Structure 1
Amino acid sequence: MPEGPSLVILREALAPFVGRRVREVGGNTTRIDPQRLLGQPLTEVRTFGKQLLLAFPATVLRVHFLLFGSHRIDDPKPTPARLHLGFGTHALDLYGCSLRYIDTDLDAAYDWSVDVMADAWDPRAARRRLRARPDMLACDALLDQDLFAGVGNIIKNEVLFRIRVHPESRVGALPPRKLGDLVREARAYSFDFLAWKRDFVLARHWCVHNRQTCPRCHVPLHFVRHLGAARRRAFFCTRCQRLYR
């Protein structure tokens, strides 16, 4: 699943499309009517968490890439796209994603303060929301898009390692300093992720995700295939990541 920083990179890649009109539509989607976009100019590209938002004068197309979605710019796959948008000499093809139209103002539809990549990100509000969920596991809290929009499984694993917190720790049991660390590093690591991905070196910087040995303790890492309510893969060190109950 693309995480928030990857969507920021896609948003930047689509910046040259702004101002161009949709000259061709296609794809096998049955959830939206692509003809609504034909002839419409793309006015803005935004992201919210893991969602791509393509704004047109009459509507906004929301794209969520789910677990296995992907996109191609000017380079379609041999297989049919979920949605094809041709902008004259350029094209965007979307695969394996969820599509829907948003016909309300985006600032009314989204709370930008929960997006870890947004200028409007509000760490104080994040701490308040976390304190209201004392029984939630730390691993689930980081993946909750109502708390940390844009954080995905890689960021979750790496943030918890950075702050030395076991993924099954209860949010309500975290000391105030650790709670602050979790909020701060959710955003900080997301921007590190963005910089590393732009330089094509992201995986080199993983400390625990898809790794076998703790770089701090030099002992085997613990791997759980389905952890927490989110049932996502977790990599962590039982020696240096403390379990708070």
Structure 2
Amino acid sequence: MPEGDTVWLTARKLHDALAGRTLTVSDLRVPRFATADLTGRDVLDVRSRGKHLLTRIEGGLTLHSHLRMDGSWRVFAAGERWRGGPGHQIRAVLGNTEHTAVGYRLPVLELLRTQDEERVVGHLGPDLLGPDWDPGTAVRNLLADPVRPLGEALLDQRNLAGIGNVYKSELAFLARVTPWLPIGELPDGVAERLMATAQRLLEENKNRFDRRTIPGARRTDQHLFVYGREGRPCLRCGTLIRRAGQDDRVSYWCPGCQSGPTT
């Protein structure tokens, strides 16, 4: 699933291509909104909220989308051939005289009143890349359930918005604890430092067009400490990285560097 930095960058690309311009193409290929016609309206703004995308359109409308596991928005120059998947995977097309934005495999796509945005994003915790970021609130949300494993708590978007499986595994490594450690057992001050690190990592990676990088992990072709490195030596201690399921997802960790329970 794309993480907060990827969604932020997607919103920026859509904003640059659509905002301040009048829609000349509008095609929402989901049954509920198939008859909606947005042509002739200006796109006012495109913003991310955690992993959600909000495209605000003249007339008090918002097109809400979520990428989940494999959805994507692609931006093409007007007249350019679309490349992002077969036509039957297209769920939305928004275009103007200069650009066309095409949404592929979008599992969530709905048109709502802008005043009703809280209905779809109001449950989210502070956004790591948003103006509402509040590390104190995020820490309190996380520690409200002290027996919950760290990895599960970090992925819960109600606690804080923007962390996915990659950052979950990397943050646990940087904190030197396993993703299964009950969050209430973190040493004093670690939760606060973890939030500061999480916000810094997403900020540093949000403009990357290639691959995200965790500072200190870069060794020739290596950009992450543990995620996706099962069976390869830890960049710090040489112990082989392990992988296991956790709450319907997977976690990666180094048995040599990280203390705490495992699966």
Cα RMSD (Å)? 2.2
Deviation at 1:175, TM superposition (A): 2.0
Partner of residue 250, structure 2? 233
Deviations 1:189-210 (A, max 9, x none): 2123325x24x24264211111
Deviations 1:16-55 (A, max 9, x none): 4211122122253224346242221100111101111100
Instruction: Determine if contact 2:4/2:162 at 8 Å carries over to the other structure.
Output: yes
Any stretches of 5+ residues in structure 1 without a counterpart?
none
Gap change, CA 1:36 and 1:136, over 3 Å in 2: farther
Deviations 1:43-69 (A, max 9, x none): 011110111110012311111011110
What is the rounded CA distance, in whole Å, between the counterparts of 1:35 and 1:104 in structure 2?
A: 16
Kindly provide the amino acid, as one letter, of the partner of residue 255 in structure 2.
T
Any stretches of 5+ residues in structure 2 without a counterpart?
214-221
Structural mapping, 1:71-110, within 5 Å: 71-74=73-76, 75-77=81-83, 79-80=86-87, 81-97=90-106, 98-105=108-115, 108=118, 110=121
Which protein is richer in helix relative to its size? 1
Indicate the SS of the match to 2:166: helix
Aligned pairs, number: 240
Instruction: Determine if contact 2:62/2:117 at 8 Å carries over to the other structure.
Output: no
Deviations 1:66-95 (A, max 9, x none): 111012111523622111112123100001
Kindly provide the amino acid, as one letter, of the partner of residue 165 in structure 2.
N
The reply to whether residue 172 of structure 1 matches residue 184 of structure 2 is yes
Structural mapping, 1:1-245, within 5 Å: 1-14=1-14, 15-33=16-34, 35-57=36-58, 58-74=60-76, 75-77=81-83, 79-80=86-87, 81-97=90-106, 98-105=108-115, 108=118, 110=121, 114-195=126-207, 197-198=208-209, 200-202=210-212, 204-211=222-229, 212-224=232-244, 226-227=245-246, 229=247, 231-243=248-260
Deviates more, 1:25-34 or 1:204-213: 25-34
Instruction: Determine if contact 1:25/1:34 at 8 Å carries over to the other structure.
Output: no
Taking structure 1 as the reference length, what is the TM-score of the superposition?
0.89
Taking structure 2 as the reference length, what is the TM-score of the superposition?
0.83
Deviation at 1:236, TM superposition (A): 0.3
What is the rounded CA distance, in whole Å, between the counterparts of 1:47 and 1:122 in structure 2?
A: 17
Instruction: Determine if contact 1:174/1:244 at 8 Å carries over to the other structure.
Output: no
Kindly provide the amino acid, as one letter, of the partner of residue 233 in structure 2.
T
Identity %: 28
Kindly provide the amino acid, as one letter, of the partner of residue 48 in structure 2.
T
What is the rounded CA distance, in whole Å, between the counterparts of 1:214 and 1:194 in structure 2?
A: 25
